[in-house]
C-alpha cells in the first residue's frame, strides 16, 4: 500500500479543469431562481440524489462525478445521505407511478430554500417511457423543477456544467450574459 501511496505523490493528479457553464442555460436559470437565497449558500451545495424510475444509467454517470477525473467535491458540491441536509434534489427517471409518493415525500423533507434539477432525457418528459401506464412522465409533473440537464445519460462533464450553472447563477443574475439564448 505504501508503494501505491508514494507513487501517487509523484504523479500529477488526474483531475481535469472544470467545464464552463453554458450561457444559454445560465440565462434561462437566472430568470427562474431566487438568487438571493442561492447566494446565502455561498459556493457550497449539498445534493440529495433521487432515482424516480431511472434505468440506472444516469446514476452511473452521477457516481462518476466523484471519481478522480471530475472530483466534484473540489467545488464544494457534495452528495448527502438525507434530504434534510440537502439544498438540491437531483432527480432522475420518468417518475414511475410507484415512486411518486416517495419523490413527493423526499421533496417535502428537504428544507427551504431548495432547488430541483431533473437529470436525463426521461426526467424531462418521460422520454422513451412517456407513453406507459406505469410512469407519470417527467419530474416537473410532480415537483417544481429549476434546471434540466439533458442526455441519456448526461456525461459527467454535462452534469458538472449543469451544477456549476446553478452555483454561478447569482453572478449571472447580477450581470446578464451578453449572448442571447
Partner 1 sequence: MARLIDLLEAGTMVAAQRPWPRSVVEAAAWKYAGEQLAEGHWSLLGLWAEPEQVHMALREPASEQVGVISLACPEGHFPSIGHRHPPAIRLERSARDLFGLRPDGLEDTRPWLDHGCWPGGGRPEAAHYEFLPVEGPSLHQVPVGPVHAGIIEPGHFRFTANGETIVRLEERLGYVHKGIEKLMAGRDPTAAARLAARSSGDSTVAYGIGFALAVEAALQVPVPPRAHWLRALMAELERLANHLGDIGAVCNDAAFALMHTHCGALREQVLRTAQACFGHRLMRDRVVPGGVAVDLDDAGEAAVQTLLDHIGAEFPALVELYENTASLQDRTMGTGCLSSQLARQFGAGGYVGRASGQDRDARRRPGYAPYGELEFAVPSRMDGDVNARLWIRIEEVQQSMGMLRQILARLPAGEIRIDLPAAAGEGLSLVESFRGELLTWLRLDAAGRIERCHLRDPSWFQWPLLEAAVEGNIIADFPLCNKSFNCSYSGHDL
| Contact status: 126 vs ligand SF4 (CB under 6 A) | no
Give the nearest distance from C-beta 75 to partner 1 in angstroms: 17
Give the nearest distance from C-beta 91 to ligand SF4 in angstroms: 10
Among 21, 93, 162, 170, interactor with partner 1 by CB under 8 A: 93
| Contact status: 92 vs ligand SF4 (CB under 6 A) | yes
Does residue 90 contact residue 66 with C-beta atoms inside 8 Å? no
Nearer to ligand SF4, 49 or 54 (CB): 54
Contacts of 4 (CB under 8 A, 6+ apart): none
Identify what 79 binds: ligand SF4, partner 1, none; CB under 5 to 8 Å per kind: partner 1
For residue 51, list its beta bridge partners.
Answer: 92
| Contact status: 152 vs ligand SF4 (CB under 6 A) | yes
Task: Tell me how many residues contact partner 1 (CB under 8 A).
Answer: 50
Does residue 138 contact residue 95 with C-beta atoms inside 8 Å? yes
Q: Which of 167, 62, 32 is nearest to 123 (CA)?
A: 62
The residue with cell 501511496 is 5
The torsion angles phi and psi of 144, rounded to 5 degrees, stand at -70, 135
Give the nearest distance from C-beta 43 to partner 1 in angstroms: 22
Residues 23-42 contacting partner 1, CB under 8 A: none
> Interacting stretch for ligand SF4, rule CB under 6 A, among 8-16, 71-79, 117-125, 139-147?
117-125
| Contact status: 55 vs ligand SF4 (CB under 6 A) | yes
Among 38, 79, 124, 162, interactor with partner 1 by CB under 8 A: 79
**HEC assignment per residue over 111-173:** CCCCEEEEECHHHHHCHHHCCCCCECCCHHHCCCCCEEECCCCCCHHHHHHHHHHHHHHHHHH
> Interacting stretch for partner 1, rule CB under 8 A, among 23-31, 36-44, 58-66, 171-179?
58-66
Amino acid at each position: 500500500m505504501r508503494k501505491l501511496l508514494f507513487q501517487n505523490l509523484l504523479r500529477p493528479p488526474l483531475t481535469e479543469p472544470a467545464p464552463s457553464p453554458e450561457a444559454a442555460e445560465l440565462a434561462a436559470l437566472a430568470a427562474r431562481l431566487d438568487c438571493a437565497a442561492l447566494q446565502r449558500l455561498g459556493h457550497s451545495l449539498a445534493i440529495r440524489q433521487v432515482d424516480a424510475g431511472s434505468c440506472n444509467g444516469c446514476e452511473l454517470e452521477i457516481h462518476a462525478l466523484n471519481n478522480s477525473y471530475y472530483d466534484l467535491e473540489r467545488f464544494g458540491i457534495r452528495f448527502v445521505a438525507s434530504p434534510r441536509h440537502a439544498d438540491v434534489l437531483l432527480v432522475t427517471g420518468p417518475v414511475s407511478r410507484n415512486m411518486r409518493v416517495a419523490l413527493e415525500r423526499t421533496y417535502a423533507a428537504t428544507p427551504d430554500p431548495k432547488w430541483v434539477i431533473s437529470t436525463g432525457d426521461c426526467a424531462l418528459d418521460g422520454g422513451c417511457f412517456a407513453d406507459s401506464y406505469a410512469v407519470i412522465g417527467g419530474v416537473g409533473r410532480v415537483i417544481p423543477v429549476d434546471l434540466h440537464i439533458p442526455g441519456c445519460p448526461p456525461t459527467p462533464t454535462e452534469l458538472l456544467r449543469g451544477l456549476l450553472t446553478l452555483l454561478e447563477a447569482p453572478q449571472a443574475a447580477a450581470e446578464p450574459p451578453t449572448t442571447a439564448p
